[in-house]
Each structure stands twice: as structure tokens, then as C-alpha cells.
Amino acid sequence: PAAVRGLSKSFGDRTVLDELDLEIEPGQFVALLGPSGCGKSTLLRILADLDQEVSGDVQVAQRRAVAFQRPRLMPWKRVWRNVVLGLPGRPDKERAVAALEEVGLGHRVDVWPKVLSGGEAQRVSLARALVREPDLLLLDEPFSALDALTRIKAQRLVGELWRRHGCAVLLVTHDVEEALLLADRVLVMRDGRIGYDQVLDLDRPRDVTDPAFVALRAEL
Ligand code: ATP
Ligand code: MG
């Protein structure tokens, strides 16, 4: 779903991505970590085709969907219409309802976005991504604005959706534990490239005894 070769991106004289290479396999759940300002969101925006002023070779699946930290919902459209917004053809309410049910929002179909809590709005943006049946789902710190309990629920939900839909996921996060909980591959960005790239065994223990936890902490 994504193959990037020699990708470079500068803002003025500041080089953010420097000859970056990255390949994401179908169905992989990839977590991308790295210090603030290292270029994670820049890379995600490029993969989402929101930024085309780059050099290098970028190949990304046509069917991709994005969910950002603060979901942008149209306030004058009811929740279900937000979910199917931008899809070709007539707005398909049934399809929107199915996606909303999948993220546990079957009771929020007809409300206005302004009445949603932060966690609910986040799930609407997941539903909006899911109706697009993406081959690649791009998530930029989707949980960071949520309270601890809502965050855990949302993390579990994303894990379930990934297992059910089988799409590849690229998750940008600052949270090492979240990365190791959800991903089967972790990347750390360094000097504008992927400096650390580790495929993880999905059956390993997912706690602090996990050797991957120690290794990844040392990388950050
Ligand atoms: P964070 O973890 O804080 O979200 P990040 O790794 O996502 O950080 P980016 O948002 O990709 O970092 O930004 C990388 C660098 O590029 C930063 O130095 C940022 O200031 C710069 N940058 C990003 N977007 C722009 C822009 N539109 N114009 C100028 N500079 C930008
Ligand atoms: Mg960012």
C-alpha cells in the first residue's frame, strides 16, 4: 500500500525529510515514533497526498483514509452525513450507519457534530475512514486528545478494526506502550529518515517484560 524511495521535503532551508525510504506491506500495522518536530506528520501528509511539493518517488494505494488528532467534522451536517461526505454517488445512510455501529456510535447517527464528546468525534472520524474501505489507514496521534480511559477504549477499537478489515495502518504516536500494544512493526524517525525499523512478533508478551519495549525505549 505504500512504497517511498528517496523522499525529501524541505520548508525553506530546513530539510525535514532527507532521502527517506519506506515500504509498508499489505495488512501491516506500523507505528511511527520520533521526537517532536522530526517530520512524522509531514510524512503522513505526503502519504495522504495532502502535500505534493516533494522530491523522490512516492507510491501509495489509491484507497487510503486519514484520521487526524482533531477530527474536522462539518458542523452543519449531521453525523451520518459527515461519515459519507465526499464519497461518490448519493449519500448512503445505510452505509454510514453500519460504520457508525462498528465504532459503537449507532445511537449518534442523526445528531449534530457539536454534541459529540472528544472521544465520540474521534470515533466518527474512524467511521469516516472505514466507509472508504482503505488499503492504507493513516492515523496521526488519533488518541492523544482523549482522556486515559477513552484512549484505552479507542486503542482497542483500532486494534479490532485492523484485525477485522485487514488494511495496513500507519500510526503516528508519541506513546511507546501504545505502539507496542497495537503495532506489528515499529519505526523511529531520525535525521529525516527511518532510523530504526523493527518487525515484532504479535504473540510476544505485551508488557514491560517485552524485550521490544526495552529496545525501543533505548532508541528514543
Ligand atoms: P510532532 O510530534 O510535534 O507532531 P512531527 O514529527 O509531526 O512533530 P512535523 O509536523 O512533521 O513534525 O514538522 C516537522 C518540521 O517541519 C518542524 O520543524 C515544523 O516546524 C516544520 N513544518 C511542518 N509544517 C510546516 C509548514 N507548513 N511550514 C513550515 N514549516 C513546517
Ligand atoms: Mg505531528
Query: Which pLDDT does position 208 carry in this prediction?
Result: 65
pLDDT digits (tens, 9 = 90+) for 98-122: 999 998 999 999 999 999 998 899 8
- Kindly report the protein residue whose alpha carbon is nearest to atom 11 of ligand 1: 39
Q: What is the mean pLDDT of residues 144-157?
A: 86
Measure 131 CA to ligand 2 centroid, in angstroms.
25
- Can you give the pLDDT at residue 19? 97
- Per-residue pLDDT band at 70 (split at 50, 70, 90): low
88-91: long-range contacts, CB 8 A cutoff, minimum separation 24: none
Lowest mean pLDDT among 136-140, 160-164, 209-213: 209-213
Q: Which residues of 198-211 are buried (b: 16+ CB within 10 A; e: fewer)?
A: eebeeeeeeeeebe
Cβ–ligand 1 contact at 82 (below 6 Å): no
Residue 146 confidence (pLDDT): 82
Residue 158 vs residue 71, higher pLDDT:
158
ipTM: 0.98
pLDDT at 151: 87
**36 Cβ below 6 A of ligand 1:** yes
Residue carrying the nine cell digits 457534530: 113
Quick one: which atom of ligand 1 is closest to the CA of 44?
Answer: 11
185-190/55-60 β-pairing: unpaired
Count Cβ atoms within 10 A of the Cβ of residue 42 and give its class: 0-12 exposed, 13-18 middle, 19 or more buried: buried
Mean residue pLDDT of the chain comes to 91
Which of the ligands is closest to the CA of residue 38? Answer: 1
The mean pLDDT of 135-146, rounded to a whole number, is: 90
Distance 163 CA to ligand 2 centre (A): 25
- The one-character DSSP state at 115 is G
State the Cα–Cα distance between residues 55 and 6, nearest whole angstrom. Answer: 8
Q: Report the percentage of the chain scoring pLDDT > 70.
A: 97
pLDDT in tens, 13-45: 999 999 999 999 999 999 999 999 999 999 999
Q: For residue 200, is pLDDT > 70?
A: yes
Question: Looking at ligand 1, which atom is closest to the CA of residue 34?
Answer: 6
Angstrom distances, CA of residue 17 to CA of 46, 63, 120:
11, 24, 34
Closest alpha carbon to 100 in 88, 76, 82, 77: 82
Nearest CA residue ID for atom 1, ligand 1: 36
Distance 69 CA to ligand 2 centre (A): 9
